[in-house]
Structure 1
Amino acid sequence: MQAVFRKINPSANYSFVARIDKLPYLYENWHFHPEIELTHIVQGRGTRFVGDSIEEFEEGDLILLGSNLPHVWKNDAVYFAPQSVLQVESHVIQFLPECFGMDFFELKEMEGLKRLFEKAKRGIRILGRTRERILTLITQLLENASGVQRIALFLHIFEIIAESDELVLLSSEGFLDSYHRFDTDAINRVYEFTLSQFNRRILIDEAASVANMSVPNFCRYFKNRTQKTYIQFLTEVRIGYACRMLIENKKSIQQIAYECGFHNLSNFNRSFRMLKNQNPMAYRAAFAG
């Protein structure tokens, strides 16, 4: 299943879109768009696909999506029944990264928001007290905000999210050819090397050499920087690419395993289940259904 580009209709002369959608069911095509999107599910249930993440969604979900991240909210089958009178409601904020000008989010004061939007390229689920605060502000924005107050509420919403620790990343590192760039050349070189070479056998010595470190020093360095071992990261990248290939449904599972760097099908199945809590065949079926 290929993600399709979706054109977002602008809200006349406003810097960002803030709207209420009330529909029989949500937009059902796997798609992406350059706009960053914050979605609150007010009413409705189903399955949420964000990158290679598959989770159930329900009333109250609050999700932040970065630019060009493929996604879809698929309502349960009952919403599509001929006699269904069910409705869904969502509150949505959408905006381009340059909505306030090309350099606005480059300002020193905007550093936190810029980091948040970079993290959002993997999709973020917002939880707890943060979610409750944001929902209150979204309601204010939708009901009566105008002029400067509208922009102030927008910035306040994303500042709260940026400062929160009640956030869960959804998609894996490897899904979009994207990764979090740290402020050192060494980690960037290792990420670039891994994303270009993951489909072959990689020895830990090679990765250490790319970082210009001994193997023990590299292992400590990578774990301290990323909170995971290099092998864990490599496996995530491989499974992320495998998920995309499974979604596109063009090759056999064995072919996909091999092309993503797994030379043993049982190892691929085991690694996939460990990261996705289901086997590759079930994952493919979930997207096709």
Structure 2
Amino acid sequence: MLGANLPHCWKNLQGYHAGASSIVIQWRGDIFPDIPAFAGIQKLQQQAQRGLYLAPKHRTAVSEQMKAVVSSENLTQYLRFVELLDFIAEQVTYTPIAGASYTYDFSSRTTSRIEQVQTYVKEHFARKIKLSEVADHLNMSEQSFSRFFSKAMQRPFFVFLNEYRVNMASRLILETDFQMAQIAYQCGYESLPFFYKQFKKFKGYSPLEFRKMYQKI
């Protein structure tokens, strides 16, 4: 679940060739009244600004409710949409994707450059990435790129890179039975202890604790 103006890209993991389909529902954030009954939905919308990963066990139920929304019209559609968001807010287990400090500069030039960086990271995160190569990709010096990225994203490039790698590792932990060493390697970590350190930094749990926690849900 993604909030407004949150940069994103849908991409299969390397080696995954199954087909995919999607249902997209977009809405204005101010369509719900500011009353206690909607407090849970308002909180959900706020948390979605960081992107939300829904636990796999709830996806079928969420998908069916989404289908019910798009197949309805007028007041019925609105009521079913409210029921959908209320279900996610009250019954679905989810975790934020982006870090708590996530902010973004939306000026057009900055957006274009940041999107280039994000695309580069998505295509190369599984291997070692040097600051110099990303700077060259944007035709900038290392110093200028570091200054630009930190100002636009409110964190250094390598913090962003590790956060992205940890998020990709989270998907593999939850959706596969791969060993942690294999996951670390596929996400660009040459050192398993460093992978564990970064994972706990961003998720608050070790990779094994994270997997066990979601296996119980």
Same fold (TM over 0.5): yes
Q: Distance in 2 between matches of 1:193 and 1:210?
A: 8
- CA deviations over 1:52-98 (Å, ceiling 9, x no partner): xxxxxxx95731359x96514989xxxxxxxxxxxxxxxx99966xx
Please list, as runs of the form range in 1=range in 2, the aligned pairs for 1:172-191 lying within 5 A after superposition.
172=98, 183-184=108-109, 185-191=112-118
TM score, norm. by length of structure 2: 0.58
Contact 1:187–1:211 (CA under 8 A) maintained in structure 2: no
Q: How well do the aligned residues superpose, as a CA RMSD in angstroms?
A: 4.3
How far did 1:170 drift? 2.4
Gaps of 5+ in 2: 1-21, 59-64, 83-94
Contact 2:126–2:187 (CA under 8 A) maintained in structure 1: yes
- CA deviations over 1:28-70 (Å, ceiling 9, x no partner): xxxx85335999997xxxxxxxxxxxxxxxx95731359x965
Match of 1:34 among 8, 17, 24: 24
- CA deviations over 1:78-129 (Å, ceiling 9, x no partner): xxxxxxxxxxxxxx99966xx99xxxxxxxxxxxxxxxxxxxxxxxxxxxxx
How far did 1:224 drift? 0.9
- CA deviations over 1:220-265 (Å, ceiling 9, x no partner): 0001111110001100110010000000133100100011000000
Contact 1:181–1:188 (CA under 8 A) maintained in structure 2: no
Is 2:195 aligned against 1:205?
no
Q: Distance in 2 between matches of 1:197 and 1:180?
A: 23
Q: SS where residue 250 of structure 1 aligns?
A: coil
- Higher strand content, 1 or 2: 1
Contact 1:257–1:268 (CA under 8 A) maintained in structure 2: yes
Q: Distance in 1 between matches of 2:203 and 2:53?
A: 18
How many equivalent pairs are there? Answer: 155
Q: SS where residue 200 of structure 1 aligns?
A: coil
- CA deviations over 1:152-193 (Å, ceiling 9, x no partner): xx9xxxxxxxxxxxxxx92128xxxxx998623322211111
- Higher helix content, 1 or 2: 2
Residues 262 and 69 from structure 1, CA distance in 2 versus in 1: closer, same or farther, beyond 3 angstroms? same
Gaps of 5+ in 1: 1-31, 43-58, 76-91, 101-145, 155-168, 174-178
Contact 2:125–2:187 (CA under 8 A) maintained in structure 1: yes
Please list, as runs of the form range in 1=range in 2, the aligned pairs for 1:206-225 lying within 5 A after superposition.
206-225=133-152
Q: Distance in 1 between matches of 2:36 and 2:56?
A: 10
Q: Distance in 2 between matches of 1:252 and 1:207?
A: 30
Match of 1:170 among 86, 96, 99: 96
> What's 1:284 paired with?
211
TM score, norm. by length of structure 1: 0.44
